[in-house]
Amino acid sequence: MKYLKPVIKGVKKPFKLIKVFLKQKAGWLDKPKIVPYKGYGNANEVFIKGMVIEDKGLSKPKDSQHFWQNMLAAIKRFSSDEIPGVRVKAELLGKSLTTETDEMGFFSFHFKFNKEEKELLKKKWHTVHFELLDEIIENQPHIYATEEVRIISPEQNRVIVSDIDDTALVSHSTQTLRKLRLMLLKNALSRNPFPGVSKFYQALSDGKDKKEDNPFFFVSSSEWNLYDLLEDFFILNHFPKGVFLLRRLEHSIYQFWKSGGGSHEHKYEKIKSLLHFYQEQKFVLFGDSGQQDPEIYSKIAFEFPGRIEAIYIRTIRSRSYIENNGQLDEKLAKVETLYLEVKDTHEAAKHASKHGLVAQDLPQEL
């Protein structure tokens, strides 16, 4: 069996590596698990990432789940040990790549295709197969996993990017105690979306003629540790299938209440990278006024004139960003961007219908 080597030099979190190493040597390390995240690509390139972690046995949420079971699941999400320095193989359309997890247990793959363009564009979702190549524990079974990548063709007209917390999912991000209560005591079944938002997003995916199938990206300051909860929540509440772009955990288990806080610069970087990667498409951005979405989205619109069709901001604070930034809507109009602050989903849907982003015969709930 290959044992992990706690290489300290140049490593930001040496104690984490030593902990995993000692647990493995003592036989205390649980079975490893590959946790891939949905990826994305175009006709020539595909990106997908994930983690190798210690399997803590997180199960799917149930209606009858007690608050203490939800609390235990929340702690498990932030306490599982990531496994660094192990090899993972990924296969897509007959092409295989191998990489090694970094010190935080993350891996990433960048597939480049030359002759497979037609094959990639045949479907909007392709399956990627993963295999763990190293033996971490005694009598380890074969460790496999699969996940999908969304392929966006040059003919696709529009990409939708949405924040998650307090935009789609009620999170109380600006109120620490209420946020902590939701994180600890609720699960994907008992967390609440904003009224009508999943139907509105589905209408945006369908587009004006109900045939567009516009792709969705969900960009959030939440950490990858919450990926399973967010995936389950979006499926259970019938959101369009999309790609999540989250961030790495910056805090210890003792500071998990800070999840989703801090700097939101990564949102700017991730959306900007999407705009560079998908140069043929226009974008619609959704966020809220509780964090820095209005500033970030406006900045992007000015940097990419003509590319951001509309910015929708759900107001969760009394102050208005646009009122405090005189003539912002007029300035954004010059770069062909509509800016709207809304109190609820109905207001956003009505505006989107008027401007041709969704069909005019919207569901009555909107």
Digit-coded pLDDT (tens) for 128-155: 999 999 988 888 889 999 999 999 999 9
Q: How far apart are CA 135 and CA 235, in angstroms?
A: 33
Whether the Cβ atoms of residue 174 and residue 317 lie closer than 8 Å to each other: yes
Residues shown for the chain: 366
Averaged over 197-223, what is the pLDDT? 94
Digit-coded pLDDT (tens) for 212-253: 999 999 999 888 988 998 999 999 999 999 999 998 876 544
DSSP secondary structure code for residue 82 in this structure: B
pLDDT at residue 259, rounded to an integer:
47
Digit-coded pLDDT (tens) for 176-187: 565 565 565 566
Averaged over 270-293, what is the pLDDT? 95
Q: Is the pLDDT confidence value at 344 over 80?
A: yes
DSSP secondary structure code for residue 213 in this structure: -
Q: Is the pLDDT confidence value at 257 over 80?
A: no
Coil, helix or strand for 268?
Answer: helix
pLDDT at residue 254, rounded to an integer:
45
Averaged over 168-179, what is the pLDDT? 68
361 pLDDT band (50/70/90 cuts)?
A: confident
255 pLDDT band (50/70/90 cuts)?
A: very low
65-74, 106-115, 118-127, 140-149: least confident range? 65-74
Q: Pick 265 or 190 by higher pLDDT.
A: 265
Q: Is the pLDDT confidence value at 262 over 60?
A: no
Q: Is the pLDDT confidence value at 172 over 70?
A: no
> Would the CA dihedral through 14, 17, 21, 23 be positive or negative?
positive
Q: Where are the beta strands (DSSP E) in the chain?
A: 32-36, 39-41, 45-54, 87-92, 95-100, 106-112, 125-132, 144-151, 158-162, 216-223, 243-247, 282-288, 308-314, 338-342
Q: How far apart are CA 161 and CA 308, in angstroms?
A: 10
> Count of CB atoms within 10 A of residue 357's CB?
23
Q: Closest Cα partner for 109 from 140, 139, 124, 130? A: 130
45-54, 66-75, 131-140, 201-210: least confident range? 66-75
Q: Is the pLDDT confidence value at 203 over 90?
A: yes
Strand partners, 243: 217
pLDDT at residue 22, rounded to an integer:
65
Tokens 């789940």 belong to which residue?
65
| Portion of the chain with pLDDT greater than 90, in percent | 57
> Count of CB atoms within 10 A of residue 6's CB?
17
Averaged over 107-114, what is the pLDDT? 95
Q: Is the pLDDT confidence value at 260 over 60?
A: no
> Count of CB atoms within 10 A of residue 317's CB?
10
Instruction: Write down the number of H helices and E strands in the chain.
Output: 10, 14
283 pLDDT band (50/70/90 cuts)?
A: very high
Averaged over 58-80, what is the pLDDT? 61
Coil, helix or strand for 201?
Answer: helix
Coil, helix or strand for 187?
Answer: coil
Strand partners, 129: 91, 146
Backbone angles phi, psi at 139, to 5 degrees: 55, 40
Averaged over 271-291, what is the pLDDT? 95
Cα atoms in the 13 Å half-sphere on the side-chain side of 111: 30
Q: Is the pLDDT confidence value at 67 over 60?
A: no
pLDDT at residue 27, rounded to an integer:
60
- Average pLDDT score, the chain: 84
Q: How far apart are CA 110 and CA 39, in angstroms?
A: 10
Which of 52-66, 244-258, 335-349 is predicted most confidently?
335-349
